[in-house]
Amino acid sequence: MSLKNINPADQASSAEVLFGDLTSQLMDPLARDLANQVKWVSLAGLFRNFEPARQEYEINSPYPVAVLGEGPPLLLLHGFDSSFLEFRRLVPFLKKRHTLIIPDLFGFGFCPRPLNVEYGPQALLRHIEELLGAVLSPNTSIGVIGASMGGAVAMELARRYPERIHRLVLLAPAGLTGKPMPLLPGLDQLGVWFLSRPFVRRSLCRQAFSDPDCSVGEHEEQIASIHLSVPGWGRALSSFARSGGMANCAHPLPKQPVNVFFGENDRILSSSIKKEVQELLMPNVEILQDCGHLPHLDIPDLIARRCIELFRPL
């Protein structure tokens, strides 16, 4: 077996209770099905370097990760200010061939947000490392699918674990090039306020899809915003913004094979970003028609076929 047994805690944490309350309201049946596969994993080593006096507010709370399917394991990493629910349409196509491990990234989704913690790339990567240690058996080889900012996270993990991660598939990756751009105090709060506005959430949701008039309704808008109800959402997001976020994560390139898929109608990533990635990773970059910034939501069947082919055991 490549997965460890995940034993539930004797008593649910407040994060788990809130998660159940929120996901019970989901209108999308695929999202509800995926939420029902979430396990809560205790990560004892996540804050091992913290001073005891700073360990406040559920510092030992377990963290959510959806685990389902059968076969060789794949780690799926969502994008900025999103959650594991982002993969709801891709999961049905992959779960019959792969064991899927789909966490909420640290500081995002439905994760608990302890006080007095810095939320930036290093904390995010440490969380994933601890999670893989808790969920996977030692020396298990794993493939990684990273969407948007999750693509940058995947690149960083691949360099850290060249013996354990055997291939990457990146969907409209962000943060592979460029420089970190930390926001000054005050501007980070303004950004959080802006992203909390309902009209902004609706607009960003529509921009992410190739054909929003056909693809975006109440279900998608609910999923794009439901995690804002988790305590500490704004605090963690502003901390991440002050850190500068994920940037230049393709340098140096990891040794593992990397395949990239961009949507022809991506209105989130600039053409210059896509061009830089194409120049860096050609010929392993494919531009997909009828697709925006979310290939795994716009054309999940095609993305699944590509993934099954690429992750096929040799």
Domains of the chain: 14-310 (3.40.50.1820)
Tally: H helices and E strands in the chain: 13, 8
Spatial neighbors of 160 by CB under 8 A, at least 6 apart, are 125, 129
Identify the pLDDT of residue 45. 79
Q: From CA 289, how far away is CA 51, in angstroms rounded? A: 51
Identify the pLDDT of residue 62. 93
pTM for this predicted structure:
0.95
CB 247 within 8 A of CB 175: yes
pLDDT above 70 covers a percentage of the chain that reads 94
Asked if the model's pLDDT at residue 58 lies above 80, the reply is no
Q: From CA 189, how far away is CA 199, in angstroms rounded? A: 18
What are the percentages of helix, strand and coil residues in the chain, rounded to 5? Answer: 40, 15, 45
pLDDT band, very low/low/confident/very high, at 284 (cuts 50, 70, 90) = very high
pLDDT band, very low/low/confident/very high, at 240 (cuts 50, 70, 90) = very high
Identify the pLDDT of residue 53. 39
Q: From CA 296, how far away is CA 14, in angstroms rounded? A: 31
Asked if the model's pLDDT at residue 169 lies above 80, the reply is yes
The arithmetic mean of pLDDT across residues 83-101, rounded, is 98
3-state secondary structure at position 77: strand
Asked if the model's pLDDT at residue 50 lies above 60, the reply is no
Of the candidates 84, 62, 48, 73, the residue with the CA atom closest to the CA atom of residue 7: 62
Identify the pLDDT of residue 152. 98
